[in-house]
Amino acid sequence: MSFFHRHPRLRLAALLSAPMLWLVVAYLGALAVLLVSAFWTVNGFTGEVVREFSLQNFRTIVTEEVYRNVTLRSLGVAVAVTVICVLLALPMAVYMAKVASPRARHWLVIAILTPLWASYLVKAYAWRVLLANGGPLDTLVGTPGYGLFAVVIVLSYLWLPYMILPIYAGLERLPDSLLEASADLGARSGRTFRGIVLPILVPSIFAGSIFTFSLSLGDYITVQIVGGKTQLIGNLVYANVGAANNLPFAAAIATVPVLIMVVYLTAVRRSGALEEL
Amino acid sequence: MTLSIWGRWALRTVMALGLLFIYLPLLLILVNSFNGDRTFAWPPHDFTTQWWSAAWRNGGARDALWTSVRAGLGATAIALVLGTMVAFAVQRFKFFGRDTVSLLIVLPIALPGIVTGIALDSAWRSVIAPLGIGKGLFSVIVGHATFCVVTVYNNVLARLRRSGVSFEEASADLGASPTQTFRYITFPLLRSALLAGGLLAFALSFDEIIVTTFTAGPGIQTLPIWIFNNLFRPNQAPVVNVVAAVLIVVSVLPVWLAQRLAGPAAGASRT
């Protein structure tokens, strides 16, 4: 112990070696292998992986209409889910942070946090029951049934707290005096909201959108549960790993959401969204 | 905020509707677990507790629960050790690539689960399986630990940042050995952060399905996998529903615990 104490560099090495061995060698190594295998192909005859560089997988993804459609559909779903979450989360967070009494605020935060601990699968399952033919929603108002619409609703439901919390945190830091100053200068609440609250909240909203966007892009379980015949990128990856047994092609498709996320992250980074996570 | 009375009411209404939107589906599961009808006809005509006893007797669900607990404990233990080590390294030292380290920790949870899943799966098949270690519970623990490290890391890092080093320096000045300082000063300072991080890690592992799908060996079924496999079997529906209801009730526990321990902010971030 005292030997380590006198040699801080050794101490650092001792602290970092095990975690880095795990994350760099095991995890990054695995990711690198996956990325490389995206350039391999599978021999259609024998099912063996051909370990030679080829762009064929990517050519297929870009040229064939199915893959373009699925990519666009997944993007559309991610955007729709993000927009729905923002529209719902904004008024809820404003109420929590600026209107509710401190005591009510405490309980509201707990009420938003608690469902995060409930199982993802259980929540998706709840919607499967809710949306079923002859289920509660059907008896009351009629159900849209399983499909793309249901996927958007359920994903919005699942990720809503991830949007509320950063916006709420952003609002909590916004001093009331700023809002009072705006009111004193004659701005109505609508104008205060557009001119002061919204611009300050932009990084928080982006931070929330990173969750809603990335989680929606990678999902395939909810799609299987309430999506009917709908397919998103995740389903294609899953089908190619499992049924089709074409890991190289699955890896190639999997790079699509990763690429989209990298582009998205670099785009929102300037707003300071990453510090809000 | 200075709001008109109408504005206040509008916000209050949206808040109430939002909470209804969040809680009604969960409530439905709880009610349905007592629904006497096997196909959950709505509204329920009679109530029964027979599904609860059926679920209790269901061996598959109980085995899956036990597997989930073991996987969660294993992953949490690894995450506690690795996460604390990295947090100390990042907070107490300056070194080249420090920012990259924190990015690397977040990566497993930032990337879509399916990417992490197939990456670990193919790595296991091509590197570890030839050594004679097939996929099993161990590979699930490895997979879960990879994305659980971040929760412990975040909690410990925040605590280290706030508490500084003066207590430890004082302890050393008073002649305590590094071991004593760790035992009597550092560890007690970190205890609640470790608990919060560990709790989050366990919850994350307990709930995880995608990475599990790809890393579980044959015959290994965690609770989420069991639920998913039985979800599409109509005659299993009542038992699945009871398991779901139990999970909803149990999910209140960590929130309550975090409340008791550290106030509402403790459970604020799952990542």
- Is B215 in contact with B140 (CB distance < 8 Å)? yes
B:230-269 residues touching chain A, CB 8 A cutoff: 231, 240-241, 244, 247-248, 251-252, 254-255, 259, 264, 267-269
Three-class DSSP category at B35: strand
With bands split at pLDDT 50, 70 and 90, how would you rate the model's confidence at B264?
very low
Q: Whole-angstrom Cα distance, residue B32 to residue B42? A: 9
Q: What is the pLDDT of residue B265?
A: 47
CA distance B11 to chain A (A): 6
Domain co-membership, B136 together with B196? yes
Q: What is the pLDDT of residue B84?
A: 94
Residues of chain A contacting B28 with CB distance shorter than 8 Å: 126, 129-130, 136
Alpha carbon distance, N-terminus to C-terminus of chain B: 31
Q: Whole-angstrom Cα distance, residue A61 to residue A68? A: 7
With bands split at pLDDT 50, 70 and 90, how would you rate the model's confidence at B67?
very high
Contact state of B177 with A2 under an 8 Å Cβ cutoff? yes
Supply the CATH number for residue B70's domain: 1.10.3720.10
Domain co-membership, B112 together with B215? yes
Say if residue A3's pLDDT is above 70. no
- Is B29 in contact with B245 (CB distance < 8 Å)? yes
Residues of chain A contacting B144 with CB distance shorter than 8 Å: none
- pTM equals 0.86
Cis peptide before B254 (omega within 30 of 0): no
Q: What is the pLDDT of residue B225?
A: 93
Domain co-membership, B26 together with B136? no
Domain co-membership, B83 together with B214? yes
The CATH number assigned to the domain with range A65-276 reads: 1.10.3720.10
Say if residue B267's pLDDT is above 70. no
Asked if residue B127 belongs to a domain, the reply is: yes
Q: What is the pLDDT of residue B2?
A: 64
Mean per-residue pLDDT of chain A:
87
- For chain B, the domain total comes to 2
With bands split at pLDDT 50, 70 and 90, how would you rate the model's confidence at A218?
confident
Domain co-membership, B11 together with B85? no
Residues of chain A contacting B101 with CB distance shorter than 8 Å: 16, 20
Q: Amino acid letter at B268?
A: A
Q: What is the pLDDT of residue B18?
A: 94
CA atoms B147, B149, B151, B153: torsion sign: negative
* Of A4-8, A36-40, B260-264, highest mean pLDDT: A36-40
Three-class DSSP category at B1: coil
**On the CB side of B233, how many CA atoms lie within 13 Å of its CA?**
10
Asked if residue B46 belongs to a domain, the reply is: no
Q: What is the pLDDT of residue A222?
A: 93
Q: Phi-psi bin for A230: left (phi > 0), alpha (psi -120 to 50), beta?
A: beta
Asked if residue B39 belongs to a domain, the reply is: no
Is the complex ipTM more than 0.90? no
Domain co-membership, B122 together with B181? yes
Domain co-membership, B85 together with B6? no
Q: pLDDT per residue over B242-253, tens digit each?
A: 999 998 888 888
With bands split at pLDDT 50, 70 and 90, how would you rate the model's confidence at A277?
low
- Is A144 in contact with B52 (CB distance < 8 Å)? no
Buried b (16+ CB within 10 A) or exposed e, A126-144: bbbbbbbeebbbbeeeebe
Over range B228-250, report the average pLDDT.
Answer: 88
Contact state of B14 with A132 under an 8 Å Cβ cutoff? no
Asked if residue B155 belongs to a domain, the reply is: yes
With bands split at pLDDT 50, 70 and 90, how would you rate the model's confidence at A85?
very high
Q: Which of B8, B105, B268 sits opposite A23 (nearest CB)?
A: B105
Domain co-membership, B14 together with B97? no
Asked if residue B64 belongs to a domain, the reply is: yes
Helix (H) or strand (E) holding B121: helix B113-123
Q: Whole-angstrom Cα distance, residue A248 to residue A20? A: 27
Lowest mean pLDDT among A135-144, A150-159, B84-93, B184-193: A135-144
Domain co-membership, B10 together with B102? no
A:237-276 residues touching chain B, CB 8 A cutoff: 237-238, 241, 247, 250-251, 254, 257-258, 261
Domain co-membership, B8 together with B77? no
Beta-ladder partners of B47: B35
